[in-house]
Structure 1
Amino acid sequence: MIHTQIAAVISSALKGLLSEHEVLQLLETPKQEQHGDVAFPCFTLAKHFRKSPAIIADELKVEVTSDLILKAEVAGGYVNFFVNQDKATEQILTSVLAEQDSYGSQPIKDEKIVIDYSSPNIAKPFSMGHLRSTVIGQSLAYLSEKNGYEVIRINYIGDWGTQFGKLITAYRMWGDEALIKKEPIKELLELYVRFHEQAKSDDSLNDDARAAFKALEEGNQEAKALWSWFREESLKEFETYYDLLGIQFDSNMGEAFYNDKMQPVVQELEQKNLLTVSDGAYVVELENLPPCLITKKDGATLYATRDLTAALYRQQTFKPVKTFYVVGHEQTLHFQQVFHVLKKMGHEWAESLEHIGFGMMLVDGSKMSTRQGKVVLLADVLAEAIKTAERNMGEKYDNQIDKRSVATQIGVGAVIFNDLKNLRTHDLDFSLEQMLSFEGNTGPYVQYTHARISSILEKGDYHEEPSTPYPLGATAWPAVKLLDQFPAIVQKSYEQADPSMVAKYSLQLARAFNKYYAHSKILGEDEGLQTRLAFSHAVSLVLKESLRLLGIAAPERM
């Protein structure tokens, strides 16, 4: 709001040389309070006016006037604007309190975005390695909706491919039906790991696995029955984690769904003369990229075949304006190839496909590996997080709440926030101690701030009724400015597909309010009480919405 209004008066003073939007992109927030609230750099104007930025700034300072601007100063080619805090505060609080949960939302666009995320492999445990795609994708879905889009959430389950030939082979050789019925995922993981250990010295196992998968593709009844069993047991277990994380999908159609839809795609590639034979396999040659493998020598399909088919199906079914693939950086080349093949097929909408890559979750500095049995299970981490939250609440928790329920919200929130506060492109070293820390830059700190405000509002008997504005004082101003920045943060976080912006913002806002709380008697019985409570309520609304955009609950009591 502040930036938008100042951008308008600068654009007017420049007589349209720069549009309001162009000015808005140039505006900065000074790092130090003594340099004002908003800064406009004049360097881009030097060529047009043929003057130094400092001279342009001096001249512009006189032209830019508004009842929102208290004063303007020039410093090194910048015009630094100091805002009328009382007037700006009234405008910002009025906007937040009027819009409530909708504050920061963009207009509905009547356009769809498909987001492909989480996508664990069946017959394998849900490890911490799957957490990143799951929580980044979920947050990106919320951010897309906040920016006006309808979102189709797709859990593209890994339920097809040669790994199932390996699992079927392992079950036939060493499987125990009773044990698998008792602990399906644990036993299936052990079979999978055992297969890879044995295959190191017996390569014939890999031949058996390829034959088993080929039989599965061709509809072999025994292979299909085993595959269905493995899939059903896996989905049951996955659902328990999704319930804890508060995640629901619009579609769980995995790779197997496209098994009978791939042949027309291969035929289309052939009809368009895009297929060539390489060592008996069919590939599509690509410019500046390795060839994209479509079918193996034995005719078996691959990830690329299924992803091409899935992309075509989704475009025809949902007609999205964008499709996001939230998958680790290690698949960058794969998606470059798939997108390039679609473009060669003549599908212009392939330009709207985007790979949202992210760094790996590392254990002792190396990647998790199901084959080697080197995994950290999400179930264990969530259980420990909830237990830690319950222990930290101790005997001092509010007895009006369900302790276990709130501990679950805090523990799960701590795990999600620990991931999302980091830039998604960075690798993360798994640290249970850091993940479960409830002090510092953590989700529980933001949740606790929200709960503290809820308690203040209850004690102050706050009712959302208009009251005569009263000056809040300088200690509230940093938090008020942050409230003003929320819509821009929401938009930028979506545009850069980076939930960490919202996470870091929520920490800043929580710190700013707690600093205000430490220096102000909010519940003091004077004429400014209702304004202080209204301000506190505005902060709680934005904190709660920030947490929601990260997929985290905001308890009212802790």
Structure 2
Amino acid sequence: MVPLTFLWITFYNLHFIGQCTLQVSRIVGLPSETVAQSIRAVPVHRKHESPDFQLFVNSLLDDSHADANSTVQEKAQKLASKLNCDTVISEIGADRGSVTFKVHRDLLTKTVLQKITQDGPRFGLNTDLLSRIPKGKTIVEFSSPNIAKKFHVGHLRSTIIGNYIANLKEAIGNEVIRINYLGDWGLQFGLLGTGFSKFGSEKELRDNPLEHLFNVYVKINEAAEQDENLRSSAMEFLRRLEGGEAQAVSLWTHFRELSIQEYAKIYKRLGIHFEEYSGESFYREKSQHVLQMLRNRGVLKEMENGTGVVDVSEGQDMSTYKTVVRSDGTSLYITRDVAAAIDRKEKYDFDEMIYVTDKSQQTHFQHLFKILEILGEKHSIRCHHVPFGRVQGMKTRKGDVIFLEDVLDEARTRMLQNMAATSTSKDLEDPARTAEKIGAAALIVQDFKGPLMSDYHFDWDRALQSFGDTGVFLQYTHARLHSLQGLWETKDLTDFNISCLQEPSVISTLQHLLRYDEVILQCLDDYQPRYLVNYLMGLGHLANVAHLALPVKGSTPDVAQARLLFFNNVQMVLANTMKLLGITPVTNM
């Protein structure tokens, strides 16, 4: 029998099972690092007590081993029989092809709580599991609304998904640059420039820039459909703009600056910021340099209609051409995107760049990355597109969603009504601000619950429920745990009686916390926020069970102190994880 004395594994830097990896490595003849990668925390089972860790035997042993004819369960049992319990491990077993380990409960409780207290907001992020991930500089391009056009739900999704990805990258130690790449160029500005002289009002522009520009854009589009001269005027305005004509540029600059000011106010309501507001306009001149690079490489082909195209096929039977320049020489969206990617590499020397847009643009980004490759830009392999599906049913009482501001206002209004109708709601200093934070949480969780690529139907009533797996439930749970702060007499976070924290609800919650870095790693693998949402919901439900089972008021001082420490730490992890998703936790509701 192999003893497990001095067992440890660096999991949250907790010395629980790791020396076991050395013992197992000797038995199976594999490096201890390989063994360690096969050990994971066990998901909590609601109906019975679970072990803490499991070693997946099948990922270690292949058919070349002596016991190749054994079933995976037999292999697990055989390996488990060679290991002994000690002062760290209280039980060793075999279950469905894995060796399972249970840590002595007092050691589990003490070590996890001390680690949370010690690491604070960094708990679960400084682990060996996450340390293997390369760190560097990450650019995340997201939100990217089109000035004067409808701010549709796709831009809302891009905004919150991009912010979550940026938060995630930042949490593991990357330097993150958030870029809002505005649609601030092209034919829409030709139409807008022409339309403003016909339908525009300086007063309405000052009072509500985004709505007025949108209304002007809608009107000129409708008029241009009936009047070819207006469309010609729009093209002429765009040519003047691209040529740098002073009056056209001045009007465009005015529209752009007002729009960014309004966008910044709205993003602030969501707690979102950007290091850079750029746009297609930044690259109108550099896009000409891109065209020259394509000519120099002999890959720019002029068609009979005068347009310029590039073959972006991937060895297919028939060539696929992408138009990169109009017949009049003006640039296109794809050309400006290529110029932007090259410019950002020169400016930031990034290690990866992530574009967050809806799935309708997948082909566009495939072409973008291919053109970068054709140009010999080696960083093209470091560029990634994170696509997402569409949302149906996102309407406000005013009708279809036009601006993000309408969505936030609707969420706040509905939440205020729900709070007013709830007898347990507390008197708040700023109920509207609280309602806005809760409403934003409801929007984010509703959006993040499923796979990003899936289309889904948005339901206001379901999103704003205070029970079930909703953002409102998370905010309620956090506020409930935070309210216990007022019961501290002496907030000593190091002195507590371990024997006062051995209840099943405590152990289940601590076991759940052991899985934190595994969930973060899973999110980093494909950027799906649903893993983090599911983890948060599990933590929230476990915390509420513990809150009911472990009263603080009326308990002896030792018990009260220990329980307050436990709830304080759970609340800390809950808050930090909510912030990763882009949710601002509330302390009262």
If the length of structure 1 is used for normalisation, what is the TM-score? 0.91
Deviation per residue, 1:191-245 (Å, 9 max, x gap): 3223333444555544443332222111123322322222122222212211111
**Offset at residue 168 of structure 1 (A):** 2.0
Aligned partner letter, 2:175: E
Query: Corresponding residue for 1:478?
Result: 508
Report the equivalent of 1:552. 583
Give the structure 1 partner of residue 563 of structure 2.
Answer: 532
Classify 1:156/1:61 alpha carbon distance in 2 versus 1 (closer, same or farther; 3 Å).
Answer: same
Structure 2 gap segments, 5+ residues each? 1-7
Q: How far, CA to CA, are the matches of 2:208 and 2:43 in structure 1?
A: 58
Amino acid across the alignment from 2:444? I
Q: Confirm whether residue 40 of structure 1 aligns to residue 64 of structure 2.
A: no
Alignment of 1:389 with 2:415, yes or no, is: yes
2:255 aligned residue (198, 218, 230)? 230
Q: CA offset at residue 151 of structure 1?
A: 0.5
Out of 390, 396, 404, the residue aligned to residue 432 of structure 2 is 404
Question: Of 65, 68, 74, which aligns to 2:88?
Answer: 68
| Counterpart residue identity of residue 14, structure 1 | S
Query: What secondary structure sits across from 2:140 in the alignment?
Result: strand
Return the TM-score normalized by structure 2.
Answer: 0.86
Question: Any idea what SS the aligned residue of 1:48 has?
Answer: coil
Quick one: distance in 2 between partners of 1:361 and 1:201?
A: 32
Is 1:12 the counterpart of 2:12 in the alignment?
A: no
- The answer to whether the Cα contact below 8 Å between 1:126 and 1:379 also exists between their aligned partners in 2 is no
Code of the aligned partner of 1:358: F
Residue aligning to 1:101: 121
Query: Aligned letter for 2:109?
Result: T
* Contact 2:24–2:35, Cα closer than 8 Å, also in 1: no
Q: SS at 2:278's partner residue?
A: coil
Q: Does 1:212 align with 2:237?
A: yes
Give the CA deviation at 1:486.
1.5
Aligned to 2:37: 24
Which of 102-111 and 452-461 deviates more? Answer: 102-111
For residue 377 of structure 2, what is the amino acid of its counterpart?
A: H
Match of residue 419 from structure 1: 447
Contact kept in structure 1, 2:25 and 2:35, CA below 8 Å = no
Aligned with residue 307 of structure 2, among 256, 263, 281: 281
User: What are the residue-to-residue correspondences of 1:147-162 with 2, within 5 Å?
Assistant: 147-162=172-187
Paired amino acid for 2:63: K
1:495-517, Cα deviation, whole Å (9 max, x unpaired)? 32122222221111010010111
Aligned to 2:139: 114
| More moved, 343-352 vs 464-473 | 464-473
Within 5 Å, give how 1:240-251 maps onto structure 2: 240-251=265-276
Deviation string 1:124-150 (CA, Å, 9 cap, x unpaired) is 354433111111111111110111101
Tell whether the 8 Å contact from 1:397 to 1:403 is kept in structure 2 after alignment.
no
**Shift of residue 31, structure 1, vs aligned partner:** 6.7
Going from structure 1 to structure 2, the CA distance change for 1:65 and 1:328 (only over 3 Å counts) comes to: farther
Equivalence for 2:104: 84
Alignment identity in percent?
Answer: 31
Structure 1, 45-54 or 73-82: larger mean CA deviation = 73-82
Which residue identity does 1:74 align to in structure 2? A
1:217 and 1:294 map into 2 onto residues whose CA distance is: 16
User: 1:413 offset after TM fit, Å?
Assistant: 2.4
Aligned pair partner of 1:146 in 143, 162, 171: 171
| Alpha-carbon shift at residue 64 of structure 1 (Å) | 3.5
CA 1:163 to 1:464, structure 2 compared with 1: closer, same or farther past 3 Å?
A: farther
- Deviation of 1:261 after TM superposition, in Å, equals 2.0
Q: Which whole-Å deviations, capped at 9, do the CAs of 1:366-419 have from their partners, x for residues lacking one?
A: xx9xxxx95343222212222233333337544474333322322222223322
1:3–1:24 CA contact under 8 A, matched in 2: no
Distance 1:430 1:205 in 2: 39
The separation in 2 between residues aligned to 1:57 and 1:178, in whole angstroms, is 76
- CA gap 1:519/1:110 in 2 versus in 1, 3 angstroms: closer
Determine the structure 1 residue equivalent to 2:190: 165
Q: 1:477 to 1:290 in 2, by over 3 A?
A: farther
Relative to structure 1, the CA distance from residue 89 to residue 231 in structure 2 (aligned partners, 3 Å threshold; closer, same or farther) is same
SS in 1 for 2:285: helix
Between 6-15 and 473-482, report the one with greater CA deviation.
6-15
Unpaired runs of at least 5, structure 1: none
The 5 A counterparts of 1:236-385 are: 236-279=261-304, 280-288=306-314, 290-363=320-393, 375-385=401-411
Rounded to whole Å, the distance in 1 between the matches of 2:259 and 2:572 is 38
Alignment deviations for residues 4-62 of structure 1 (CA, whole Å, 9 cap, x no partner):
45465246313252543565346473674456343334334240222312331121102
Q: 1:364 to 1:557 in 2, by over 3 A?
A: closer
Distance (whole Å) between structure 2 residues aligned to residue 403 and residue 164 of structure 1: 40
Q: CA 1:58/1:438 → structure 2, altered by over 3 Å: closer, same or farther?
A: closer
Between stretches 222-231 and 443-452, larger displacement belongs to: 222-231
Q: What is the identity, as a one-letter code, of the residue corresponding to 2:484?
A: I
Matched, 1:516 2:527: no
Q: Secondary structure at the match of 2:469?
A: coil
CA drift of 1:76 comes to: 4.2
Return the offset for 1:90: 1.6
Q: Map Cα deviations across residues 110-165 of structure 1 (whole Å, 9 max, x no partner).
A: 72111111111112354433111111111111110111101111111111111111
On the 8 A contact 1:164/1:227 being kept in 2, the answer is: yes
Cα distance change of structure 1 residues 226 and 22 upon mapping to structure 2, 3 Å threshold: farther
Deviations 1:321-360 (A, max 9, x none): 1111111111111111111111121121111111111112
Bigger mean CA offset, 333-342 vs 101-110:
101-110
Q: Name the structure 1 match of 2:5.
A: none
Supply the distance in 2 between the matched residues of 1:259 and 1:22 (Cα, whole angstroms). 54
Deviations along 1:50-86, one digit per CA (max 9) or x if unpaired, are: 2312331121102344543322233443333333333
